[in-house]
Amino acid sequence: MKHILLVDNDVLFTKTITSLLQKEHLDVSVAKDGKEAAIALAAGDFDLVITDLFMPYSNGFELVNTIRQNKFTYIPIMVVSNVTKVQSIANCFRLGADIYLQKPLSFPLLLSEIKNLMLNQRNVAA
Amino acid sequence: MWLHKEFLISILFGSWSFSWDSFPVFIKICFIISMLALFGIVIAMVDIAVQRFSRKRLEKKTALLSVRINELLTSAVMMEEPAMQKKISFVKSDFTIDSLYDSGIPDKEVNKILVTEMIRYRNYFSGQIAERIRKLYLDLSLHKEAINRLHKKNWETKAAALSELFKMDIEVDPTDLLQLVDDKNRYIREFARLSLIKFTKADPLQFLRDLSEPISQWEEFEIFQLFQQKKDFTLSSLEGLIALDKEPSIVSLCLKLAVHFKQEAALSLIINLIKTPNLKLRGEAIACLGKLEAKDTEKELVAIYPEQPHVIKLEILTALGRMQSRRCLDFLEKEFISSSDFEIKKYASDAIIKLYPLSKSTIDKLMLNAGILNQKILNHSLNPLINAS
């Protein structure tokens, strides 16, 4: 079963996404901020990280940067946020995010992008 | 000293009537006022304490209720499609909506939290999930309450109701909205205008024709964003909206809409605006002509150029560059070479480069014959990494 790390400080969002992804036979772990996510990443093995941008303590930009600085593994990163500022979105990609999805989110789109990213990861690994 | 002693004795032995009568009237009045003030303070403090206690209790209950509502909404979202179609009976039994109202929190407060959470959901999710939340909102008849609140006197209540209906995608009767588009309160005004644009298909700009008040920049931004998202509508004629006698902020918005929706039919209206004494609007109109590539207006722009102020001259040069026509190349070349103003030279050079490949021979000629400064400016404009306006 594929393991996803979902990083967002909003319980309503994480709960819903977790339930929806679990229905699709995906295993989801939740972290409230970048700091918690970094700890989870060090401890576990994840196939994808889905993160928000604005969270307390350590934000999404820092998290993307941290993941990309650790060159030992390649984890696809999906940023999901309500940020519309082009510079912020460009900054995500510059730091190493693979895809940016805008809230409000369409779940079928999210799911198809998750599948795409995982497929790409498998191709990269191969 | 003797009086003081007697006074103390009178207090100690309770002969109040004697001591009270012996005081002058103004002392008595001051005493009564002090006592009343003290009493008032005690009452106010007790009231504050009681209110704080009950608010804390309500907050605790509300927090618990929010969690339950979230769970409920999540389960509503997770439901399979056929089950969702069963409407209220299903909602009441399976979602245990009724139990929310038994939590000791006033029904109004419960509804408020429910709607807040629903809106939060819709801010996070679009598509089917958002539609399910909207359906639940309708099934629980929460929209009826919001529509009733539209007729209340309090502006905050009205604005909140409008915002709620707008965010939940509930269509409001246009006659109700038209009464509110010119409201004194700007929040009510804004939400009413936005709702009208969102839900009117035939002529979403109709209300702009009746407006005499300026629209704020934020409103302009929101209206423009709504139009960008709107799909099933036709932009009506901009006649009467792009006019010299119309409020400049409305004209400015319409110019942006004309460019976005490529309204070439509005060109004759836009060209009239170059006579406006309002420099900002004149500049916007010229920029609009450029963006719409109105080649027929080239001659007119070149004709008015000499008597225009500096900012407008720059707008004209940019517009000419956008028009993709070689007719104005000589004019641009002349401005580039003969002008002593650096900015004019730079804008003319940008315009010439924008006209490439039509301007290829002119560029080659200038690169050979122009002076060092002119060549540097041209090279700067030719650099693809520098974004020319």
Q: Which of chain B's residues have a Cβ under 8 Å away from the Cβ of A106? A: 125-128
* Cβ neighbours of B370 (radius 10 Å): 19
Tell me the average pLDDT across B116-131: 89
Dist. CA B263–CA B270, nearest whole Å: 10
Say whether B124 and A13 touch across the interface (CB within 8 A): yes
In this complex, which of A11, A82, A107 lies closest to B129 when CB atoms are compared? Answer: A107
Question: What HEC string does chain B produce?
Answer: CHHHHHHHHHHHCCCHHHHHHHCCHHHHHHHHHHHHHHHHHHHHHHHHHHHHHHHHHHHHHHHHHHHHHHHHHHHHHHCCHHHHCCCHHHHHHHCCHHHHCCCCCCHHHHHHHHHHHHHHHHHHECHHHHHHHHHHHHHCCHHHHHHHHCCCCCHHHHHHHHHHHHHCCCCCCHHHHHHHCCCCCHHHHHHHHHHHHHHCCCCCCHHHHHCCCCCCHHHHHHHHHHHHHCCCCCCCCCCCCCCCCCCHHHHHHHHHHHHHCCCHHHHHHHHHHHHCCCHHHHHHHHHHHHHCCCHHHHHHHHHHHHHCCHHHHHHHHHHHHHCCCHHHHHHHHHHHHHCCCHHHHHHHHHHHHHCCCCCHHHHHHHHHHCCHHHHHHHHHHHCCCCCCC
A18 Cα to chain B: minimum distance (Å): 10
Select from B65, B74, B117, B136 the residue whose CB has the most chain A CBs within 10 Å, as the one to mutate to test that interface. B74
Structure tokens at B322: 């956008």
The pLDDT value recorded for residue B361 is 85
A12 Cα to chain B: minimum distance (Å): 6
Over residues A43-89, the pLDDT tens digits come to 888 899 999 998 888 889 999 998 888 865 688 999 999 888 888 89
Over residues A9-44, the pLDDT tens digits come to 988 889 889 988 998 899 999 999 888 998 898 888
Tell me the average pLDDT across B342-357: 90
Say whether A106 and B126 touch across the interface (CB within 8 A): yes
Q: Which of chain B's residues have a Cβ under 8 Å away from the Cβ of A104? A: 122-126, 130
- Decide if B197 contacts B227 (C-beta within 8 A): yes
Give me the residues of A, 63-92, that contact B with CB < 8 A: 82
Structure tokens at B203: 């002529």
Over residues B132-187, the pLDDT tens digits come to 899 889 988 899 999 999 888 899 999 999 999 999 999 888 888 888 887 888 88
Statement: residue B313 has pLDDT above 90: yes
Statement: residue B389 has pLDDT above 60: no
A2 Cα to chain B: minimum distance (Å): 21
The pLDDT value recorded for residue A87 is 85
**What angle do helix axes B329-338 and B310-322 make, rounded to 10 degrees?**
140
Over residues B56-91, the pLDDT tens digits come to 988 888 888 888 888 888 887 776 554 445 544 444
> Terminal CA-to-CA distance of chain A, rounded, Å?
18
- Decide if A95 contacts A68 (C-beta within 8 A): yes
Dist. CA B259–CA B293, nearest whole Å: 10
Statement: residue B371 has pLDDT above 70: yes
A15 in reach of chain B (CB within 8 A)? yes
User: What average pLDDT does the structure give for chain B?
Assistant: 84
Structure tokens at B167: 């965010």
The pLDDT value recorded for residue B231 is 66
Q: Which residue of B has its CA nearest to A80?
A: B124
A118 Cα to chain B: minimum distance (Å): 22
Structure tokens at A74: 């390649």
A24 in reach of chain B (CB within 8 A)? no
Statement: residue B359 has pLDDT above 60: yes
Question: What SS3 class is residue A39?
Answer: helix
Dist. CA B377–CA B333, nearest whole Å: 13
Side chain identity at residue B235, one-letter code: L
Say whether A12 and B126 touch across the interface (CB within 8 A): no
CATH of domain A3-125: 3.40.50.2300
A80 Cα to chain B: minimum distance (Å): 10
Side chain identity at residue A21, one-letter code: L
Over residues B227-244, the pLDDT tens digits come to 877 766 666 678 778 888
Q: How many residues does chain B have?
A: 389
Of B76 and B380, the one with more pLDDT: B380
B295 Cα to chain A: minimum distance (Å): 32
Q: Is the ipTM of this complex over 0.85?
A: no
Over residues B197-223, the pLDDT tens digits come to 888 777 777 778 877 778 888 888 888
B126 Cα to chain A: minimum distance (Å): 5
**pLDDT bracket for residue B14 (50, 70, 90):** low
Say whether B124 and A105 touch across the interface (CB within 8 A): yes
Q: Which of A94-108, B25-39, B80-94, B234-248 has the lowest mean pLDDT?
A: B80-94
* Residue owning tokens 């807040």: B116
The pLDDT value recorded for residue B283 is 94
**pLDDT bracket for residue B92 (50, 70, 90):** very low
Say whether A16 and B121 touch across the interface (CB within 8 A): yes
* Residue owning tokens 């393991």: A3
A112 in reach of chain B (CB within 8 A)? no
Say whether A104 and B122 touch across the interface (CB within 8 A): yes
DSSP annotation of A51 reads E
Dist. CA A46–CA A41, nearest whole Å: 7
Q: Which residue of B has its CA nearest to A109?
A: B127
Over residues B40-60, the pLDDT tens digits come to 999 999 999 999 999 998 888
Say whether A12 and B123 touch across the interface (CB within 8 A): no
A111 in reach of chain B (CB within 8 A)? no
